[in-house]
């Protein structure tokens, strides 16, 4: 009888325990979700770099961050990566990353930025691994020792991982500057579509970047 009572009691205790866990998760959801997003966010740029590299894919946020780092003397040179054309028939109607960067600088009344583009060895990058490989070749030729890449805050851990993987035997130090946006951050990303899509995609993409040794073909530039 005692054995039977013990057996009957356990499912209820497990259910009660599960409800307690769910209640705690609900009560502390903001803290948990904030900590989760912070895992993907890195911002460790330091002064003394040879160049700032603004990655393609989010020029509205990344370009101003790159300019801010350059203005604050993190590096004397600033570059953009070469992104593959999405539709060559209509590419002439779209403003290039370089032209956009120049307009942002002009809007901020900064006219002496030494803009340049890192050439692509594959006709334009389609992933962060492509950008890392292009930058590595360019950096070796110029004997750089320290670079700062600039990308959106939610993309920083994955981008830094891709670059460090490509640069691992080069002796070149790679850091990242995180570009923020006006829509979401680590404390509220789950309250808007763009925040949810960004963090969910990083949740999928980051493990792939960790386990692939070279560019994973299923990952496209964001």
Specify the higher pLDDT residue, 90 or 32.
32
The pLDDT, as a whole number, for residue 15 is 72
Q: What is the mean pLDDT of residues 114-123?
A: 91
The pLDDT, as a whole number, for residue 124 is 82
Q: What is the mean pLDDT of residues 24-34?
A: 78
Using alpha carbons, select from 57, 4, 46 the residue that is nearest to residue 220. Answer: 57
Vertex 31 angle, CA 27 and 35, to 5°? 145
The pLDDT, as a whole number, for residue 26 is 61
Strand partners, 81: 118
- Buried residues in 106-129 as b, exposed as e (16+ CB within 10 A): eeeeeeebebebbebeeebbbbbb
Vertex 96 angle, CA 147 and 46, to 5°? 20
Q: What is the mean pLDDT of residues 91-103?
A: 83
pLDDT digits 0-9 by tens, 30-77: 999 999 999 999 999 999 999 999 999 889 999 999 999 999 999 999
The pLDDT, as a whole number, for residue 29 is 79
Vertex 123 angle, CA 99 and 207, to 5°? 95
- Share above pLDDT 90 across residues of the chain, in percent, rounded to a whole number: 66
Using alpha carbons, select from 91, 110, 102, 92 the residue that is nearest to residue 63. Answer: 102
Q: What is the mean pLDDT of residues 197-219?
A: 80
pLDDT at 1 over 50: no
Spatial separation of the C-alpha atoms in residues 27 and 95, rounded to whole Å: 46
pLDDT at 28 over 90: no
Spatial separation of the C-alpha atoms in residues 14 and 26, rounded to whole Å: 18
pLDDT digits 0-9 by tens, 145-188: 999 999 999 999 999 999 999 999 999 999 999 999 999 999 99
Specify the higher pLDDT residue, 91 or 6.
91
Using pLDDT thresholds of 50, 70 and 90, give the confidence band for residue 122: confident
- Residues constituting the chain: 222
The pLDDT, as a whole number, for residue 148 is 98
The pLDDT, as a whole number, for residue 211 is 83
Q: Which residues are within 8 A (CB) of 151 and not within 5 positions of it... i.e. 6 or more apart?
A: 55, 57, 58, 62, 128, 159, 176, 177, 178, 179
Specify the higher pLDDT residue, 125 or 166.
166
Mean pLDDT for the chain overall: 87
Using pLDDT thresholds of 50, 70 and 90, give the confidence band for residue 193: very high
């Amino acid at each position: 009888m005692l054995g039977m009572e013990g057996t009957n009691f356990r499912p209820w205790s497990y259910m009660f325990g599960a409800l307690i866990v769910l209640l705690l998760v609900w009560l502390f959801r903001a803290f948990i979700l904030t900590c989760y997003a912070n895992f993907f966010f890195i911002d460790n740029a330091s002064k003394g770099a040879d160049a700032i590299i603004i990655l393609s894919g989010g020029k509205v946020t990344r370009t101003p961050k790159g300019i801010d780092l350059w203005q604050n003397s993190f590096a004397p040179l600033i570059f953009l990566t070469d992104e593959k054309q999405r539709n060559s028939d209509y590419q002439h109607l779209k403003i290039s990353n370089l032209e956009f960067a120049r307009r942002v600088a002009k809007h901020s009344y900064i006219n002496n930025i030494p803009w340049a583009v890192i050439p692509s060895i594959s006709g334009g990058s389609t992933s962060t691994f492509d950008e890392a490989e292009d930058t590595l070749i360019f950096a070796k030729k110029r004997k750089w020792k320290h670079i700062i890449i600039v990308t959106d805050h939610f993309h920083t851990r994955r981008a830094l991982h891709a670059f460090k993987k490509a640069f691992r035997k080069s002796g070149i130090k790679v850091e990242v500057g995180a570009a923020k946006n006006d829509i979401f951050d680590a404390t509220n990303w789950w309250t808007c579509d763009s925040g949810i899509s960004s963090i969910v995609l990083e949740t999928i993409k980051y493990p792939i970047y960790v386990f692939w040794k070279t560019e994973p073909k299923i990952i496209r530039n964001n």
